[in-house]
Amino acid sequence: MTETATQIEVGMGADARMIAVCHRAATAKNGPGLIWLGGYRSDMDGTKAVELDRYAGENGLACTRFDYSGHGQSGGDFTKGTISRWLEESLAVFDRFTDGPIILVGSSMGGWIAIRMLQELKKNGQADRICGLLLLAPAPDFTSELHEPLLTDAQKQDLETKGFYEEETPYGPDPNVFTRALFEDGRKNRVMTGMIETGCPVHILQGMADPDVPFAHALRLVEHLPADDVVLTLVRDGDHRLSRPQDIDLLLNSVGRMVG
């Protein structure tokens, strides 16, 4: 059953859009809060997000889930979506719904958003509030690193002439849509260009049978992270979703270790 969400407005004027947020307040005195950052075309009612929220409730932790614009219960046009746009929304949710220490839990594209959030929070002196990054099949820089090198001539032509191309996906009946704006904006948000200073522990969960984000990408990400407090767990038969019962157990056990 879809939970009724709070709607907040992000953006100004013609760029304003309504973002759906589900926030669980903490009931325990101690412990960090959790923010779920979903993947491209996923929503906050997915298995991992719901299980994370359930875990938070059982352990008295605050938990915040939301849908990016053009996703799930949120308003806005999906085809206008870019990393910068969804980052703006993520930071707005962080500002309005959280306080105290926070663990960012990012899945696929959400892993990229989590890293960019940390970088932006550093600029306004709030990075010390992030006490951990838990990244599932993280896909930082996926537009330039994972998609652009594999574009067909037809897809390149569509990007040039139509401003987008479509690609079939096994995760739903409708094709994925990738826009020229997404690719152009992705280049401006690249993070795997040098050392990524996190200032907090990082735990990565990555399936080795992931057809969308190869585990070699996770290994490359680790090379850009500080040597201390970085854990990479490879799931031999894990796919991109990492939503099987044993994957969920791994996710929640990882959260438990980071919460302490």
DSSP state letters, the chain: -PPP-EEEEESSGGG-EEEEEEEE---SSSS-EEEEE--TT--TTSHHHHHHHHHHHHTT--EEEE--TTSTT--S-GGG--HHHHHHHHHHHHHHH--S-EEEEEETHHHHHHHHHHHHHHHTT-GGGEEEEEEES--TTHIIIIIGGG--HHHHHHHHHTSEEEE--TTSSSPEEEEHHHHHHHHHT--TTS----SS-EEEEEETT-SSS-HHHHHHHHHTS-STTEEEEEETT--SS--SHHHHHHHHHHHHHHH-
The CATH number linked to 61 is: 3.40.50.1820
CA-to-CA distance for 148 and 212, rounded, in angstroms? 13
Residue with the larger pLDDT of the pair 186 and 1: 186
What pLDDT is attached to residue 174?
Answer: 83
- Flag whether 177 is in a domain: no
Question: Is 51:248 a contact under the CB 8 Å cutoff?
Answer: yes
CA-to-CA distance for 62 and 27, rounded, in angstroms? 8
What confidence tens digit (pLDDT) does each residue in 206-255 have? 999 999 999 999 999 999 998 789 999 999 999 999 999 999 999 999 99
Question: Is 106:37 a contact under the CB 8 Å cutoff?
Answer: yes
Tell me how far the alpha carbon of residue 126 is from its chain's centroid: 19
- Flag whether 191 is in a domain: no
Cα dihedral across residues 81, 85, 89, 91: positive or negative? positive
What confidence tens digit (pLDDT) does each residue in 184-204 have? 999 999 999 999 999 999 999
- Flag whether 184 is in a domain: no
- Write the burial class of residue 173 (CB in 10 Å: 0-12 exposed, 13-18 middle, 19+ buried): exposed
- Flag whether 159 is in a domain: no
- Flag whether 208 is in a domain: yes
How many domains does the chain divide into? Answer: 1
Q: Torsions phi, psi of 24, nearest 5? A: -105, 120
Instruction: With cut-offs at 50, 70 and 90, classify the pLDDT of residue 2.
Output: low
CB within 8 A of 183, min separation 6: which ones? Answer: 143, 144, 147, 148, 159
Instruction: With cut-offs at 50, 70 and 90, classify the pLDDT of residue 95.
Output: very high
The pTM score is 0.96
Tell me how far the alpha carbon of residue 225 is from its chain's centroid: 17
- Flag whether 216 is in a domain: yes
- Flag whether 183 is in a domain: no
- Flag whether 134 is in a domain: yes
What's the residue count for the chain? 260
Owning domain of residue 30:
6-142+196-259
CA-to-CA distance for 48 and 205, rounded, in angstroms? 13
What is the token pair recorded at 42?
Answer: 């996923």
Mean pLDDT of 101-122: 98
